Structure 1
């Protein structure tokens, strides 16, 4: 089992959590509002996820938008790390940038120190740090991150294969590089043909029937909602097992 490729599935609802587990995910990235790239999940969702039989890492991102954080943002981010620890989850997903896209060493160091004892993933704020990702990889290693979630600075991992290959080469065995964004049953083969990944990140989602009525009119729901599908998780797990 230890040789298997690990499948991480991102979810933002109780239903998504249950589907990911039922389909055979190896780890959960727990979020709110995946349509904005993922925000810190609610205390209630964290409490539910703490009962999961697989590791759960919670996104630490208090607001949509960029990853440039001021003092008020930091206070909220640190409190969210505390909430994850109190819930008993396995880890946190962190990231912070300067205005130019380079990783913010000071903020990341504070967050990593505060999260000591929890697992740590560096999220796709990393993708803003290119096109030379070597310094960002070195910083992630220095601060004790376990892995980097990245699309190679492109919209999808498939588009970023060249940069991802360079990231794998520079990272070596110092830190895991986990491709994510646009990873699905159709793109998995091409990604695996190019990259020696041992972990992969996917939403394993389908577009649900579009909502209608007052809730849509008032902006309470997305016009094209997605939800994690247990059957897709199951098929992704089986595809990875065949590699």
Structure 2
């Protein structure tokens, strides 16, 4: 049983090394300001040419998790350019002024596409989590939710992540744990049914984004995730 491992890529070299280490997908960011901003279509094209694994660019142009009608036009244009550059899917997520999932804006943005997409960590900023997850379940082609279970990090949100995965099979199927993820979290998450994991700093020497992704570090995460998921399967069938 193999889980999904996604690695943040800022350069083509990151994507090459992530693939060599066994990653399944890269999340492409133009910068990591405020948790990640949209890359240029040219960068997506370069990364697509550098790797054969899945590529999902971040679709976000401003601080926070809101947008408006004028920016939505730019975002749709970006997503079209990303798709033309070979992106397999997108990473996006917007909230309204009440701190709820902005389903109307999201449906408007994704309506022209046919690709799967990830709702990013905007979910962790929602004021009413039950309402937010219910809204996510209605959105078309959503196949991943990147969440730490907390607006801070996985360390602070781990209990909530475990409870949600154990109590909601659909949530367990779409949760991609990330945001301060540590190796010690993986066994707990795997036992709760989580199969997808996202890393940024842990894929780099010294945990620094000034360094390229390191193949050996990615490989260590690949091995850990697969070992824990195999252990879960053996325990379930014993």
- The verdict on a shared fold, with TM-score over 0.5 as the criterion, is yes
Partners of 2:153 and 2:187 in 1: how far apart?
Answer: 14
Partner of 2:134: 138
Partner of 1:15: 13
Question: Per-residue deviation at 1:185?
Answer: 3.1
Deviations 1:175-231 (A, max 9, x none): 5111111113354345445x321111111223478xxxxxxxxxxxxxx73542221
C-alpha change, 1:45 and 1:23, in structure 2 (3 Å) is same
> Residue 231 in 1 paired to residue 222 in 2?
no
Question: Per-residue deviation at 1:134?
Answer: 2.2
Deviations 1:30-88 (A, max 9, x none): 1111243111111222112223211111111123x111111221111111111111112
C-alpha contact (below 8 Å) 2:162/2:188 kept by paired residues: no
Q: Quick one: which of 136, 159, 162 aligns to 1:162?
A: 159
Question: 3-state DSSP class of the match of 1:159?
Answer: helix
| TM-score normalised by L of structure 2 | 0.85
Partners of 1:45 and 1:71 in 2: how far apart?
Answer: 26
Question: 3-state DSSP class of the match of 1:142?
Answer: coil
Partners of 1:169 and 1:134 in 2: how far apart?
Answer: 14
Deviations 1:71-122 (A, max 9, x none): 221111111111111112110011001233211121111122133x111110
Question: 3-state DSSP class of the match of 2:205?
Answer: strand
C-alpha change, 1:169 and 1:238, in structure 2 (3 Å) is closer
Larger helix percent: 2
C-alpha contact (below 8 Å) 2:117/2:144 kept by paired residues: yes
Partner of 2:147: 150
| TM-score normalised by L of structure 1 | 0.83
> Residue 77 in 1 paired to residue 65 in 2?
no
Runs (5+) with no aligned partner, structure 2: 229-238
Runs (5+) with no aligned partner, structure 1: 210-223
Question: 3-state DSSP class of the match of 2:65?
Answer: coil
Partners of 1:27 and 1:46 in 2: how far apart?
Answer: 13
Question: 3-state DSSP class of the match of 2:163?
Answer: helix
Partner of 1:101: 99
Partner of 2:234: none
Partners of 1:93 and 1:228 in 2: how far apart?
Answer: 20
